[in-house]
Amino acid sequence: MAGSNFKKDMNQNDVIDSAKGFFTSFGILFLVFLIALVGSIFFPPQHGEQAGGGATAPAKVDAESVFKTTCAGCHGQNLEGITGPNLTKVGSILDAAAIENIIKNGKGGMPPGMLKKNDEIKAVAEWLAAKK
């Protein structure tokens, strides 16, 4: 009968409609997921970039600990002087450039080339030049 056929068609359409609805919303979810995935590939999380930036910036040198491991054997842990002279007021007689020069070239009984890295030499020289 036409009536029952019509009802059957309705049911089929309902099934197709809900299937369409399901796949459409699933498709949107899938699209969002794809965009997020592609986005994370082309725009990686910012914290990774910051870590990279920190690595390319010169590492902060701890002048005091460099001095204690390299220089304190002769100048003392507190700059009080042992075989080398007291450096507690070295900044009032030598500026950073002069101290840098002594670190690089040595002086009298002080051996040259104790520090090899330029940023360490600079940091220690500036740290000592501030001792007045």
Shortest distance (Å) from residue 80 CB to ligand HEC: 13
Q: Which residue number, 62 or 85, has a Cβ lying nearer to ligand HEC? A: 85
Give the C-alpha separation, 102 to 46, whole Å.
Answer: 43
Q: What is the Cα gyration radius of the chain? A: 36
What's the sign of the alpha-carbon dihedral 87, 92, 96, 101?
Answer: negative
Comparison of 14 and 80: residue with beta carbon closer to ligand HEC: 80
Nearer to ligand HEC, 62 or 70 (CB): 70
Token code pair at residue 49: 């970039």
Footprint on this chain of ligand HEC (rule: CB under 6 A):
67, 70-71, 73-75, 83-85, 87, 90, 93-94, 99, 102-103, 107-111, 114-115, 124, 128
Instruction: Compare residues 62 and 84 and give the one whose CB is closer to ligand HEC.
Output: 84
In the complex, least distance from residue 57 CB atom to ligand HEC, rounded to whole angstroms: 24
Give dist(CA 114, CA 82) in Å, integer: 17
* Rounded-to-10 torsion of CA 18, 21, 23, 29: -140
Sequence-ordered list of residues with C-beta below 8 angstroms from that of 68, at least 6 positions apart, any chain: 77
Residue corresponding to tokens 């009298």: 108
Residue nearest to ligand HEC (CB): 108
Rounded to the nearest whole angstrom, what is the least distance from the CB of residue 63 to ligand HEC in the complex? 9
Shortest separation between residue 60's beta carbon and ligand HEC, angstroms: 18
